[in-house]
Chain A
Amino acid sequence: MRPAIHIVSAAFALAMLALTPPATAAEKIDPVADAKAFQKFFTDKFPKLKPEDFVTGPYSMNEDLHRQWVEKEQFPPYEFSLEMGKEMFSTPFKNGKSYADCFPNKGIGIRQNYPYFDDKEGKVITLELALNRCRETNGEPPLSYVKDEMAALTAYMAYTSRGKPFDIKIPNDPRALEAYQQGKEYFYTRRGQFNFSCATCHVQSPGERIRAEVLAPGLGILNAMPIYRSEWSGMGTTSRRFTTCNSQIRGVPLNPQDDEYRNLEYYLSYVSNGLPISGPGARP
Chain B
Amino acid sequence: MSLLKPLLASFLLIAGSACAFAASEADYKAAYAAAEAANKEAGKLRNQWTTTASTLAAAKKAADAGDFDKAIEASKEAEALAKASIYQATSEKQLWKDLEIR
Asked if A and B form a direct contact in the complex, defined as CB atoms under 8 angstroms apart, the reply is: yes
**Interface residues of A, Cβ cutoff 8 Å to B:** 1-2, 5-6, 8-9, 12-13, 15-16, 19, 21-22, 34, 37-38, 41, 184-185, 188-193, 195, 197, 199-200, 203-204, 247, 250-252, 254, 260
For B48, the closest partner residue in chain A by CB is A252
B interface, how many residues as a size bin?
20 to 34
Partner pick for A19 among B46, B51, B73, B95, CB 8 A cutoff = B95
- Chain B residues 73-99 with CB under 8 Å of chain A are 73, 76-77, 80-81, 83-85, 87-92, 94-97, 99
Within 8 Å of chain A (Cβ to Cβ): is B102?
A: yes
Are A37 and B101 in touch, CB under 8 angstroms?
yes
| Inter-subunit contact A12/B49 (CB<8 Å) | no
Enumerate 18 A-B pairs (CB-CB under 8 Å) in ascending A order. Answer: A5-B77, A5-B84, A9-B87, A12-B84, A12-B88, A15-B91, A16-B87, A19-B91, A21-B94, A188-B100, A189-B92, A189-B96, A192-B49, A193-B84, A197-B99, A199-B100, A250-B51, A254-B46
Interface of A is mostly: helix
A37 touches B102 (CB 8 A): yes
Q: How many A-B residue pairs have CB under 8 A?
A: 86
Residues on A with C-beta less than 8 A from B50 are: 192-193, 247, 250-252
Chain A neighbourhood of B101, CB < 8 A? 34, 37-38, 41, 199, 203
List 6 additional A-B contacts (Cβ < 8 Å) besides A5-B81, A22-B97, A193-B81: A2-B80, A5-B80, A9-B87, A19-B91, A19-B95, A250-B50
Binding site for A on B (CB under 8 A): 43, 46-51, 53, 73, 76-77, 80-81, 83-85, 87-92, 94-97, 99-102
Report Cα–Cα, A215/B25, bound state, in Å. 48
Instruction: Establish whether residues A252 and B95, one from each chain, have CB atoms under 8 Å apart when the complex forms.
Output: no
Q: Are A185 and B91 in contact (CB under 8 A)?
A: no
CB distance from B89 to the nearest CB of A (A): 8
| Best-surrounded residue of A188, A193, A204, A252 (most CB of chain B within 10 A) | A252
Q: How far is the CA of A137 from the CA of B11 in the complex (A)?
A: 76
**C-alpha spacing A265/B92, complex, angstroms:** 20
CA distance A41 to B47 in the complex (A): 29
Q: Which residues of B contact A203 (CB under 8 A)?
A: 99, 101
Q: Is the CB of A19 within 8 A of B94?
A: yes
- Chain A residues with CB under 8 Å of B88's CB are 12, 190-191, 195
Residues of B within 8 A of A21 (CB): 94
Closest to B89 in A: A191
What is the CA–CA distance of A257 and B92 in the complex, to the nearest angstrom? 22
Chain A contacts for B43, CB-based, 8 A: 252
Residues on A with beta carbons closer than 8 Å to the beta carbon of B97: 22, 188
